[in-house]
């Protein structure tokens, strides 16, 4: 039986935790163009509507931690938030993106439904505090350098400043140089804090800095890890997708092909249903 969590409600259709079906958080790593990001969002909405999976669209307006100074970072906060706002209004989709500085919080909070704190910044107290003050859902990615138990300290920073809606994301742990591994024990451990947990399937297969001036990865393992995480118990699945990952401007090696997403999600949905139905039986007993 998986540990039960508090319920974090975004709207009537998007509810995290409480043994409900998982929510999909998906989109491209970075906004490459307005046209491409709309096409991806439309296709994702079609897939998730067909499979009846709750869906939040994700895309970064700025990738502030690229390996190389010459790497593409995105359109920036102003243009990026304009695009995400258009997607939100025209496609009727909730949206999320990551912030990197306290100066970005107010503007981001006016558009985003979920504010994401990157793994490298999960201990940045001022950033956490300002994100908490928005009253929005805050999704904090566990740093590659932290144990799951350390995320209690992150919650302790958020709670006093009004963060009543928090998600915690597992995205792998550093294993030597240029490699990550996933300890599935992290998911029930963080779930025991009473907050919904997210599994970031695509960043978990990264090989950080593996190409010297860019990050490498191995997307082959995304479906395997996603199914394993669902069997342990998750409240959301985070997956970056792209129509042509090999030519993406950021994180291409670990993003999955958009056309393969539906096939990948079907068994995950079945596993999620089975695990959570067993949990409900255990509660009844």
Domains and CATH numbers, the chain: 8-280 (3.20.20.70)
Mean pLDDT (whole number) for 182-192: 96
Per the structure block, which two tokens stand in for 85?
A: 């706002």
Handedness of CA 239, 240, 243, 245 (dihedral sign): negative
Question: Residues of the chain with pLDDT > 70: what percent?
Answer: 96
Give residues with Cβ within 8 angstroms of 239, minimum separation 6.
Answer: 24, 25, 26, 200, 201, 202, 222, 226, 256, 261
Three-class secondary structure of residue 159 per DSSP: helix
Q: What are phi and psi of 272, to 5 degrees?
A: -60, -45
Per the structure block, which two tokens stand in for 237?
A: 């699945």
- Residue 161: CB atoms within 10 Å: 13
Q: What is the pLDDT of residues 136-172, one digit of tens each?
A: 999 999 999 999 999 999 999 999 999 999 999 999 9
- Residue 280: pLDDT band (50, 70, 90) is low
Three-class secondary structure of residue 181 per DSSP: strand
Mean of the per-residue pLDDT values for the chain?
Answer: 93
Q: What is the pLDDT of residues 114-143, one digit of tens each?
A: 999 999 999 999 999 999 999 999 999 999
Mean pLDDT (whole number) for 243-258: 94
Query: Which residue, among 61, 54, 60, has the nearest Cα to 16 in the 3D structure?
Result: 54
Instruction: Supply the pTM of this predicted model.
Output: 0.95
Three-class secondary structure of residue 217 per DSSP: strand
C-alpha 151/C-alpha 190 separation (Å) is 7
E strand residue ranges, 53-126: 55-58, 95-98, 114-117
Question: Residues of the chain with pLDDT > 90: what percent?
Answer: 85
**28 touches 36 (CB < 8 A):** yes
- Residue 84: CB atoms within 10 Å: 27
Alpha helices in 134-260 (DSSP H): 151-158, 186-191, 222-232
C-alpha 44/C-alpha 174 separation (Å) is 30
C-alpha 117/C-alpha 103 separation (Å) is 14
Q: Based on the number of CB atoms within 10 Å of its own CB, is 285 exposed (0-12), middle (13-18) or buried (19 or more)?
A: exposed
């Amino acid at each position: 039986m998986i540990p039960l969590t508090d319920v974090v409600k975004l709207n009537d259709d998007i509810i995290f935790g409480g043994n409900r079906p998982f929510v999909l958080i998906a989109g491209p790593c970075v906004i490459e163009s307005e046209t491409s990001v709309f096409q991806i969002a439309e296709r994702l909405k079609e897939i998730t509507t067909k499979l009846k999976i709750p869906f939040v669209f994700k895309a970064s307006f700025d990738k502030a931690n690229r390996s190389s100074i010459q790497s593409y970072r995105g359109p920036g906060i102003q243009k990026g938030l304009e695009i995400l706002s258009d997607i939100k209004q025209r496609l009727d989709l909730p949206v999320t993106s990551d912030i990197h500085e306290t100066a970005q919080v107010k503007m981001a909070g006016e558009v985003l439904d979920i504010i994401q704190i990157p793994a490298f910044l999960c201990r940045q107290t001022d950033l956490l505090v300002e994100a908490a003050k928005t009253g929005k859902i805050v999704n904090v990615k566990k740093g590659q350098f932290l144990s799951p138990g350390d995320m209690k300290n992150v919650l302790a920073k958020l709670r006093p400043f009004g963060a009543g809606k928090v998600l915690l994301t597992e995205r792998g742990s550093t294993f030597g140089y240029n490699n990550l591994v996933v300890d599935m024990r992290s998911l029930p451990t963080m779930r025991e804090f009473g907050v919904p947990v997210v599994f970031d399937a695509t960043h978990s297969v990264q090989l950080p800095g593996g190409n010297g001036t860019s990050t490498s990865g191995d997307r082959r393992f995304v479906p395997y890890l996603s199914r394993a995480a669902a069997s342990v118990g998750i409240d959301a699945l985070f997956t970056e997708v792209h129509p042509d990952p090999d030519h993406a401007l950021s994180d291409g090696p670990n993003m999955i092909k958009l056309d393969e997403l539906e096939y990948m999600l079907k068994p995950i949905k079945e596993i999620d249903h089975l695990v959570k139905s067993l949990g409900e039986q255990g509660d009844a007993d």
